[in-house]
Amino acid sequence: MPKALLSVYDKTGLVDFARGLINLGWDLLASGGTAKLLMQNNLKVTEVADYTGSPEILGGRVKTLHPAIHGGLLARNTEDDLNQLHSLGWDYIDLVAVNLYPFEATVAKPDVTLAEAIEQIDIGGVALIRAAAKNHDRVTLVCDPSDYNMVLDRLTRKNLDEATRRSLALKGFRLTSHYDQAISRYLDGGQGETLELYPVQSLRYGENPHQSAVLLGYHPGDTPLGGKVLQGKELSYNNLLDLDAAWRTVVSYKKTSIVIVKHLTPCGVASNDDQAEAYKAAYECDTVSAYGGIIAANRPITAATAEAIKDLFVECIIAPGYEPAALELFAKKKNARLIEMPDLEIEPKVEYRSVMRGVLRQQVDLGDPDQSGWKVVTDKQPTAEEMAAMKFAWVACQYVKSNSIVFAKGETTVGIGGGQPNRVDCVRIAARHAGDKAKGAVMASDAFFPYPDSVEEAAKAGITAIVHPGGSIRDQISIDLCNKLGLSMVVTGFRHFRH
Ligand SMILES: NC(=O)c1ncn([C@@H]2O[C@H](COP(=O)(O)O)[C@@H](O)[C@H]2O)c1NC=O
């Protein structure tokens, strides 16, 4: 008869699983508490202590740590190994269901003592997982109660194959690795940091065809950006970067908005209750750059928007959903990748970037959502329309590569200049894109003006109000210039560099 060993802290689903095994003709062994629960449910089980002839000792510190158990798990599928086991009066163990003491939950409690934490370091369970996982050629490991039904089902159909055992073993090694990292982090006073990453998909290549690349996620089973790919060619490395930039920008707006991104920078942003109109306005900001761009929407894409996008060559579209008629229209653009996102969140709230021999971690720039610290510093007060346009431009500006300058009229960008090593050039680029539309528009700058040259350029282009963080030792010179030229200026107190 096949033999299963059950030793679980989380006893969810245990009784049904054990009953299922018995019905399939399995013999059960179980450690103290696990055996007790099964007996209370009238299930036939042998306690590990009776099987090994060694009682559980040291208040549970040693329960399953015995050669009869580990020999039964680690013995290979060979005559020699089986004979050795039999000569000692032991047998193969073919399946282990185990889950561990809740170390992480314990140390998450506010007043946990070191002694309490140490006692929650599972030793025997980890050893069971590693032994069963190592010998997955013969042994099935079930370390997640959510796998009980799948395992029972496969045992019933007699198709619990090597591939399934291997994937269960992999889950076991991932679990013990995560568990040990949590312990070392705790003992290290929370200083040590580990980043666990799981393959999402391999990519055809990286930024360029000669660079290999892969997409990794923070959790097993993660999908690209947490979304669902509905259609289109395989996502590329550059697509993923641009999708990320576009998504972060569009979800930073509360109103119905469209963002078009090229090479990590928005080249058109607009808000409008009519989504198709928002798209048209965003596109008009820079029709040259929009070609081959990434389009992001913070509301499901309507048929009217899809109709408006129809003739543009786009790499990807990302949105929280699509009207069926929009999907039909996009189906004709076979190569365009469509991504459906599950929510409007920016997750996680930290971000990592690698540098030479190290990794940088920082909190995500979530902006200054209430914009409550804004101060008018000029004689002239901005009009209500200018103020609304500055609030809109300020959000867009956060997502343009530094130095970043955004010209906006109403809730539409009319000129964007970014990615230059000096701010005044960004103003010139934004002004060139905007042309006549700069007249009466507002300007947002991601950082303060070290000199008044940017203000001078903006005024020349026709800008009437400026928003920027403030904080330069020469702020007053820029303010004086605004006063002289009749512009209004607002400082936010927040800087939004994006390197
Ligand atoms: N010490 C041991 O030999 C040992 N063997 C199994 N365990 C753990 O004991 C728990 C189950 O114990 P019980 O069946 O007594 O409720 C499981 O979380 C299992 O991972 C052990 N406990 C800790 O290391």
pLDDT tens-digit readout, 234-270 = 999 999 999 999 999 999 999 999 999 999 999 999 9
Are 233 and 179 in a shared domain? Answer: no
Residues 336 and 391 in one domain: no
- Tell me if 357 is assigned to some domain: no
Please indicate, yes or no, whether residues 429 and 320 belong to a single structural domain of this protein.
Answer: no
Answer yes or no: do 152 and 296 share one domain. no
In a domain, 204, yes or no: no
Of the pLDDT bands very low, low, confident and very high (cuts 50, 70, 90), residue 492 is very high
Mutate which of 17, 31, 96 for ligand 1? The one with the most ligand atoms within 8 Å of its CB, which is 31
Q: Is residue 383 included in any domain, yes or no?
A: yes
* 33, 154: one domain: yes
* pLDDT digit string, tens, across residues 288-304: 999 999 999 999 999 99
In this structure, the answer to whether residues 174 and 232 fall within a common structural domain is no
pLDDT tens string 366-376: 888 777 789 99
Pocket of ligand 1, beta carbon within 6 A: 7-9, 31-34, 60-65, 98-101, 122-125
Indicate whether 336 and 379 sit together in one domain. Answer: no
Is residue 39 located within the same domain as residue 123? yes
pLDDT of residue 368: 80
Residues 119 and 61 in one domain: yes
End-to-end CA distance of the chain: 64
Closest ligand 1 atom, residue 9 Cα: 18
Given a cut of 90, whether residue 188 has pLDDT beyond it is no
Closest-CA residue, ligand 1 atom 19, reads 125
Question: Distance, CA 297 to ligand 1 centroid (Å)?
Answer: 50
212-230 tens-digit pLDDT? 999 999 988 999 999 999 9
The secondary structure of 298-320, three-state, reads CCCECHHHHHHHCCCCEEEEEEC
pLDDT at 370: 74
Quick one: 434 and 291 in the same domain?
no
The number of beta carbons lying within 10 Å of the beta carbon of residue 270 is 29
Q: Confidence class of residue 318 from pLDDT cuts 50, 70 and 90?
A: very high
In a domain, 9, yes or no: yes
Q: What DSSP letter does each residue of 314-338 carry, written as one string?
A: EEEEEES-B-HHHHHHHHTSTTSEE
Is 47 a member of any domain?
yes
- Same-domain check for residues 156 and 257: no
Of 188, 214, 246, at which residue does a domain stop? 188
Q: How many residues does the chain have?
A: 499
420, HSE (Cβ side, Cα atoms, 13 Å) = 15
Q: Which atom of ligand 1 is nearest to the CA of 98?
A: 20
What CATH number corresponds to the domain at position 261? 3.40.140.20
How far, in Å, CA of 460 to CA of 477, rounded? 17
Phi and psi at 214, nearest 5°, equal -145, 150
> Looking at 290, 318, 340, which one is the last position of a domain?
340
Nearest CA to ligand 1 atom 20: 125
CATH for 171:
3.40.50.1380
Pocket test for ligand 1, best of 101, 141, 142 (most atoms within 8 A of CB): 101
- The edge-to-edge listing of strands for the beta sheet with 337-340 is 228-231, 337-340, 314-319, 293-297, 257-262, 265-271, 412-418, 404-409, 442-445, 465-468, 488-491, 375-376
How many structural domains compose the chain? 3
Residue 85 scores a pLDDT above 80: yes
> Which ligand 1 atom is the nearest neighbour of the CA of 31?
14
The residue written with tokens 């790919």 in the block is: 229
Residue 191 scores a pLDDT above 90: no
366 falls within a domain: no
Determine, yes or no, domain membership for 8: yes
Give the dihedral sign, CA 424/429/435/441: negative
Query: Is 202 among the domain residues?
Result: no
Contacts 24+ apart (CB under 8 A), 103-107: 103/179, 103/182, 103/183, 103/186, 104/179, 104/182, 107/182, 107/186
The pick from 7, 28, 58, 129 for probing ligand 1's pocket by mutation, whose C-beta has the most ligand atoms within 8 angstroms, reads 7
Distance separating alpha carbons of residues 309 and 497, to the nearest angstrom: 31
Indicate if ipTM > 0.90. Answer: no
Q: Give yes or no: residues 184 and 232 share one domain.
A: no
| pLDDT value of residue 193 | 76
Provide the annotated active-site residues.
134, 263
Distance 84 CA to ligand 1 centre (A): 26
Domain that holds residue 287: 226-340
pTM of the predicted model as reported, rounded to 2 decimal places: 0.80
